[in-house]
């Protein structure tokens, strides 16, 4: 069986430093030639120009023009929530700055929660449609999907990944551990000691980081979380309400709850209301994300703010850089979180 022709490696795009090293001159000299400056000797200019042709070098300005034809596939794994809306705002804004286009879709069928197309067919379809790269938000990608995208040379960036079967997959997230710790420390400072956790999928990386932050804060205060008060399900309002009813119905109910996301926290608050409990008089609740729903809640939700729009902007810029062959300094970017104190928390 004959070997298939090797796919060109766009990541190895020639830089000015490459040309300078080959010519034995400075990067500044190569830059002068590229920009048409006259203060370069004819012999050096001829050598540099020859190397530019040999290496098929294209200046950044040419790459920016090429970006006008770029189309990035933005895939949401799950419901089109307020979280996803904030992220896509950032993606679209960054795409406008780069003269690129964005196509928004769903990673899986929202009714069956299954990928209806096999990974290789899915990736080939994206490539055939002329996509430049793929961004997935909170996606549960398998190794097969990642390999399929690599086989058609489509760069991938995952935002707030639920799991990453490959360490080298590029992702954009926030300081989830610090966020979980800051929410819990806020409740501890309010005098709460019986603090519960209601989070998302147990295997989710961002959920695990937030949960570890909660545990670290509790342990630093000399407290051991009650096993029955640490619950995980999914990042949905219904899960928060269901688990909230379980937590708050018993005689040993907690005085505060750290929610793994805003939707969960709002579900817990509804469970408290249904049971005749007042937030924050009888129960303090925190969320995570700071979606638009947090400020609209009654009372407004104390939450950990993720810079969702900036995460979207960074993801778009990163996938275009990868498509342009640039080397990244890191496969994972974490943006800072910030605790936003509102009316859903109060002293014990």
171-180 confidence digits (pLDDT tens): 999 999 999 9
Query: What 3-state DSSP class applies to 230?
Result: strand
Examine the domain organization and report whether 84 and 38 are in the same domain: no
What is the pLDDT at residue 8? Answer: 38
Q: Which pair of structure tokens corresponds to residue 344?
A: 């859903």
Query: At a CB cut-off of 8 Å and minimum separation 6, what does 230 contact?
Result: 196, 197, 211
Would the pLDDT of 261 be above 80? yes
Examine the domain organization and report whether 234 and 275 are in the same domain: yes
Tell me which of 7-21, 65-79, 184-198, 254-268 is least confident.
Answer: 7-21
End-to-end CA distance of the chain: give it in Å, rounded.
Answer: 73
In a domain, 293, yes or no: yes
Sheet architecture: strand order including 332-335: 101-106, 71-76, 133-137, 156-159, 170-174, 332-335
Q: What is the pLDDT of residues 115-154, one digit of tens each?
A: 656 788 888 888 888 899 999 987 677 788 889 999 899 9
Q: 251: burial class by Cβ within 10 Å (0-12, 13-18, 19+)?
A: exposed
CA atoms within 13 A on the CB side of 128: 6
Examine the domain organization and report whether 157 and 239 are in the same domain: no
Domain that holds residue 111: 69-173+309-332
Q: What is the pLDDT of residues 152-192, one digit of tens each?
A: 999 999 998 877 766 778 999 999 999 999 999 999 999 99
Examine the domain organization and report whether 14 and 50 are in the same domain: yes
Examine the domain organization and report whether 42 and 145 are in the same domain: no
The answer to whether residues 269 and 298 touch, using CB atoms and an 8 Å cutoff, is no
Query: At a CB cut-off of 8 Å and minimum separation 6, what does 80 contact?
Result: 106
Handedness of CA 313, 329, 56, 134 (dihedral sign): negative
Which residues is 339 bridged to in the sheet? 304
What is the pLDDT at residue 1? Answer: 38
pLDDT bracket for residue 18 (50, 70, 90): confident
Would the pLDDT of 111 be above 70? no
Q: Could you give the number of structural domains in the chain?
A: 3
What is the pLDDT at residue 125? Answer: 87
CATH number at residue 186: 3.40.50.2300
Q: Are strands 195-199 and 230-232 parallel, antiparallel or unpaired?
A: parallel
pLDDT > 90 in the chain, percent: 56
Question: Average pLDDT of 280-298?
Answer: 96
Tell me which of 157-161, 305-309, 332-336 is least confident.
Answer: 157-161
Omega before 288 within 30 of 0, i.e. cis: no
Query: At a CB cut-off of 8 Å and minimum separation 6, what does 35 contact?
Result: none
Examine the domain organization and report whether 115 and 223 are in the same domain: no
In a domain, 340, yes or no: no
Closest by Cα among 196, 297, 287, 300 to 248: 196
What is the pLDDT at residue 337? Answer: 97
Examine the domain organization and report whether 180 and 169 are in the same domain: no
Examine the domain organization and report whether 204 and 265 are in the same domain: yes
Question: Average pLDDT of 277-297?
Answer: 96
What is the pLDDT at residue 65? Answer: 40
Higher pLDDT, 300 or 39: 300
Which residues is 174 bridged to in the sheet? 335
Question: Average pLDDT of 229-238?
Answer: 95
Rg (CA), the chain: 25
In a domain, 343, yes or no: no
Q: What is the pLDDT of residues 58-80, one digit of tens each?
A: 655 444 444 446 899 999 877 77
What is the pLDDT at residue 112? Answer: 59
What is the pLDDT at residue 165? Answer: 63
pLDDT > 70 in the chain, percent: 87
Examine the domain organization and report whether 167 and 184 are in the same domain: no
């Amino acid at each position: 069986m004959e070997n298939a022709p090797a796919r060109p490696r766009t990541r190895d795009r020639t830089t000015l430093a490459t040309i300078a090293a080959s010519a034995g001159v400075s990067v500044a000299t190569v830059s002068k030639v590229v920009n048409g400056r006259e203060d370069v000797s004819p012999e050096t200019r001829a050598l540099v120009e020859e190397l530019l042709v040999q290496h098929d070098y294209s200046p950044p300005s040419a790459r920016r023009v090429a970006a006008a034809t770029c189309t990035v596939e933005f895939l949401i794994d799950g419901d089109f929530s307020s979280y996803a809306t904030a992220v896509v705002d950032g993606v679209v804004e960054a795409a406008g700055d780069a003269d690129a286009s964005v196509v928004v879709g769903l990673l899986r069928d929202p009714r069956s929660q299954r990928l209806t197309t096999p990974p290789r067919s899915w990736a080939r379809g994206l490539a055939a449609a002329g996509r430049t790269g793929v961004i997935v938000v909170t996606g549960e990608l398998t190794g097969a999907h990642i390999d399929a995208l690599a086989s058609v040379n489509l760069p991938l960036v995952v935002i707030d990944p639920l799991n990453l079967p490959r360490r080298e997959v590029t992702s954009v997230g926030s300081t989830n551990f610090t966020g979980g710790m800051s929410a819990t420390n806020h409740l501890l400072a309010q005098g709460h000691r019986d603090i519960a956790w209601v989070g998302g999928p147990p295997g989710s990386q961002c959920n695990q980081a937030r949960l570890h932050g909660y545990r670290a804060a509790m342990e630093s205060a000399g407290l051991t979380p009650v096993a029955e008060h640490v619950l995980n399900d999914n990042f949905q309002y219904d899960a928060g309400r269901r688990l909230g009813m379980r937590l708050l119905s018993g005689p040993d109910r907690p005085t505060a709850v750290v929610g793994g996301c805003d939707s969960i926290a709002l579900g817990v608050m509804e469970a408290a209301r249904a049971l005749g409990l007042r937030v924050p008089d009888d129960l303090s609740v925190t969320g995570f994300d700071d979606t638009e729903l947090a400020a609209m809640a009654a009372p407004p939700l104390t939450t950990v703010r993720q810079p969702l729009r900036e995460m979207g902007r960074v993801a778009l810029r990163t996938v275009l850089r990868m498509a342009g062959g640039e080397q990244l300094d890191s496969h994972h970017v974490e943006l800072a979180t910030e605790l936003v104190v509102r009316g859903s928390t109060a002293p014990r």
